[in-house]
Structure 1
Amino acid sequence: MGDPALSRRGFLAASAAAGLGMTALSGCGGDSDEGSSGITTVEWWNISTTQPTKDVWAALAKKFEAQNPKVKIKIVQLENDAYKSKMTALIASGKLPDIFHTWGGGVLRQQVDAGLVEDLTDRTKEWADGLLPVAKEPYLLDGRLYGIPFDSGMVGFWYNKALFERAGVSTPPTTWNGFLDTVEALKAKNITPIALAGKEKWPGMYYWAYLAMRVGGAEAVQKAAEDKDFTGPAFVRAGQLLKELAGLQPFQKGFLGAAYSDPNGQAAAVGNGKAAMELMGQWAPVVEADAGKGLGDDLGFFPFPAVEGGKGSLTEVFGGANGHALRRDAPQAAVDFLRFFASEATDRELVTKTGVLPVVTAAESALTDPNLTAVQKQLKAATGFQLYLDQAYAPAVGQEVNDSVAALVAGSKSPEQVAESITKTAKEEQ
Structure 2
Amino acid sequence: MKRSLVILATAVLVAGCSGGGGGESAPQEEGGAPQKVTLEWWHLSTADPLKTLWDKRAKEFMAANPHVTIKATVLENEAYKAKLTTITQSGKAPDIFATWGGGVLKQQIDAGLVKDISQDVADVLPNFTPASLSAYQVDGKTYGLPTDIGLVGFWYNKKLFKQAGIDEPPTTWSAFLEDVKKLKASGTIPIALAGKEKWPGHYYWAYLALRIGGLEALKQAETDHDFTKPDFIEAGRQVKALADLQPFQKGFLNAAYSSPDGQAALVSNGKAAMELMGQWAPATQNDAGKGLGDDLGFFKFPAVEGGKGSIDDAFGGGGGLAVGADAPKEAVEFVKFMTQMDKHSEAVEAGGVLPVLKGEESAVKDPNLKEVAESLASASGYQLYLDQAYPPAVGAQVNDSVAELFAGTKTPEQVGAEITEVAKSEG
TM-score grouping bracket, smaller chain normalisation? over 0.9
Q: Take 1:35 and 1:419, find their aligned partners in 2: how far apart are those partners? A: 57
Name 1:137's counterpart in structure 2: 134
Which runs of structure 2 are paired with 1:31-430 in the superposition (5 Å)?
A: 31=22, 38-430=35-427
CA offset at residue 254 of structure 1? 1.0
Contact residue 49 and residue 352 of structure 2 kept, 8 A? no
Aligned pair partner of 2:10 in 21, 24, 44: 21
How much does 1:282 deviate? 0.3
SS in 1 for 2:195: coil
Q: Which amino acid aligns with 1:66?
A: A
Once residues 27 and 92 of structure 2 are traced to their aligned partners in structure 1, the CA distance between those partners, rounded to angstroms, is 19
Structure 1, 55-64 or 170-179: larger mean CA deviation: 55-64
Letter in 2 for 1:28: S
Cα deviation, residue 25, structure 1: 4.1
Greater than 4 Å deviation, 4+ residue runs = 32-37
Q: Secondary structure at the match of 2:360?
A: helix
**How far apart are the structure 2 equivalents of 1:103 and 1:311?**
27
Match of 1:300, SS?
strand
TM-score, normalising length: structure 1: 0.95
> 2 CA distance for matches of 1:230 and 1:212?
10
State how far apart, in whole Å, the 2-side matches of 1:299 and 1:310 are. 29
Task: Check the 8 A contact 2:316/2:383 in 1, yes or no.
Answer: yes
- Please list the CA deviations of residues 132-160 of structure 1 after superposition, one character each: whole Å capped at 9, or x if unmatched: 11111111111211111100000000000
- Alignment deviations for residues 163-212 of structure 1 (CA, whole Å, 9 cap, x no partner): 00000100000000000011001011000000000000000000000000
Q: Distance in 2 between matches of 1:129 and 1:27?
A: 31
Please give the TM-score of this superposition, normalised by the length of structure 2.
0.95
Deviation at 1:34, TM superposition (A): 6.5
> What CA deviation, in whole Å up to 9, does each residue of 1:1-59 have, x standing for no partner?
231xx35xxxxxx43xxx54342443526329967782211111001112232122111
The C-alpha deviation readout for 1:315-348, integer Å capped at 9, x for no partner, is 1110011011001132111111111100011111
Separation (CA, whole Å) in 1 of partners of 2:117 and 2:54: 22
Percentage of matched positions with identical amino acids: 56
Give the Å deviation of 1:354: 4.3
| Stretch moving more, 322-331 or 272-281 | 322-331
Contact 2:265/2:288 (8 A) holds in 1 = yes
Partner SS state of residue 424, structure 1:
helix
- Find the residue that maps to 1:357 and give its secondary structure: coil
Distance in 2 (CA, whole Å) between partners of 1:283 and 1:162 is 21
Tell me if the contact between 2:351 and 2:366 (Cα under 8 Å) persists in the aligned partners: no
Distance 2:17 2:285 in 1: 34
1:59-93: CA deviations, max 9, x gaps? 11111111222211111111111111111111111
After superposition, the CA RMSD in angstroms is: 1.5
The number of aligned residues is: 419
CA contact (8 A) 2:172 2:303 kept: yes
Residue equivalent to 1:11: none
